[in-house]
Amino acid sequence: MKRPRKVALISIYDYPRQDYSAYWAIQVAGDDKEGYRWAAQILSYEPVAWEYKGTRTVDRPDVPRLAYPSDAHLMRELAYNTIPDTPPGNRARLQAAERVRQDAFRAECARIYEASPKAVHVVFETIGVTETRDKADTAAQTWVLDQMQNFRRAVVLEPLTDEDVAALVVAFDAARLAKDFGAVDRIRGRLKSSAIKIKEPKNIDATVATKWERGYALALGGPFGMLVGLGYAIAGKLFDLVLMAIAYSTTVRNNRMVQVRDAIDGGAGAGLMRIFDGARPATCGAATTLLAELTHSDPCAGAPASGVLTFSAITADASANATGTATWYRDVDSTGTCCVDGSVGTAGSDLNLNSTSISVGQQVSCTSKVYTEGSA
């Protein structure tokens, strides 16, 4: 019996064109005996180069825009078809002449096509081989998931009105219930951009299994870290999400934190915590100005407990690299590979400093650092 395939990890609908400057393509071929070959590409909507006469250029070559042949031959064919009493001999000669004209027309079209630059849209591509089809699918999609984060468009979002927030809350509720997790993440991100956080409800208690726990879902973030624990009133109306939040076991939560720890410890040396100014990019996107670089212990932390990863001592940067306002940070391994991105502020952020103003040559230190995973 044919074994059912696993559900795809990603969907093209999770990367709408208005949000991303590229899309992806995956191909898998092979069999259980020889293994499965997979190939994946990241494709830009706009040309990244031009192929012309065997060479590739970034700018489009200056090639004349040749006009196609006129449609006079079509007019002649139309005139021929409207003369029903054309003698057979003349008709054969007209047909032969028309075939010559048609052939010449197609040849001219091919010549113009070959004389024009060809747009190249491939940004990145890679290949691999695995022993099973499922592993090939997973490997290709994992590569795509990692690469696509670099192609999110930089969008300046308008502030949300109360009506906008109300509509987004309803859409978030519907997306969660429909298990449309791509939409869930997009809506959560849009709300977060306006300092509104989704506070998802906990699982219902077993003794009231017939009821949903109603988790009043919105909390205000921002510099004061003010939380509205019971709800968020919009235009006199209280919005709530009737949802069941996913809860992870302690083992799963610890395993996730082990992956974070091991990623930061990657490479031969100690991992780093880099602090930047400017607008925070998409996760692991192009970094802005580096203000300071602190060094983790090696290893950066011990074993997590109850989903909590407590970092070991972090060595201060004795002399900041540049002057600026700290807005975000990134954990990288010793090779510079991105592991974790987070916000920087003075309160209510992922990394809280006593001041976000950093001057070149100043010492920058971190007294404690803890990551917490999932819900119990």
Q: Indicate whether 289 and 319 sit together in one domain.
A: yes
pLDDT tens readout for residues 182-203: 777 778 777 776 666 665 544 4
Asked if residue 44 belongs to a domain, the reply is no
Average pLDDT, the chain: 77
- Which whole-number Å values give the CA distances from 323 to 229, 277, 293, in the listed order? 38, 9, 13
Q: Residue 107 is part of which domain span? A: 64-115
DSSP annotation string for 200-220 = PPPPPPGGGTTS---B--EEE
Q: What are the backbone angles phi and psi of residue 187, rounded to the nearest 5°?
A: -70, -40
Question: What's the chain's length in residues?
Answer: 376
pTM: 0.39
- Res 374: pLDDT: 57
- Res 100: pLDDT: 81
Asked if residue 151 belongs to a domain, the reply is no
CA-CA distance, 41 to 123, in Å (whole number)? 7
Per-residue pLDDT at 98 exceeds 80: no
Asked if residue 136 belongs to a domain, the reply is no
CA-CA distance, 229 to 217, in Å (whole number)? 8
| Domains of the chain: total | 3
Q: Indicate whether 281 and 354 sit together in one domain.
A: yes
Asked if residue 106 belongs to a domain, the reply is yes
**Which of 264, 331, 255 minimizes the C-alpha distance to 301?**
264
Q: Tell me the percentage of the chain whose pLDDT exceeds 70.
A: 73
Residue with tokens 């949903």: 212
Structure tokens that stand for 363 in this block: 């010492």
Q: Indicate whether 290 and 262 sit together in one domain.
A: yes
Structure tokens that stand for 216 in this block: 């009043």
Binned at pLDDT 50, 70 and 90, residue 39 comes out as very high
**Which of 283, 274, 279, 291 minimizes the C-alpha distance to 336?**
274
Binned at pLDDT 50, 70 and 90, residue 34 comes out as confident
In one letter, which amino acid is 60?
R
CA-CA distance, 328 to 230, in Å (whole number)? 30
- Res 196: pLDDT: 66
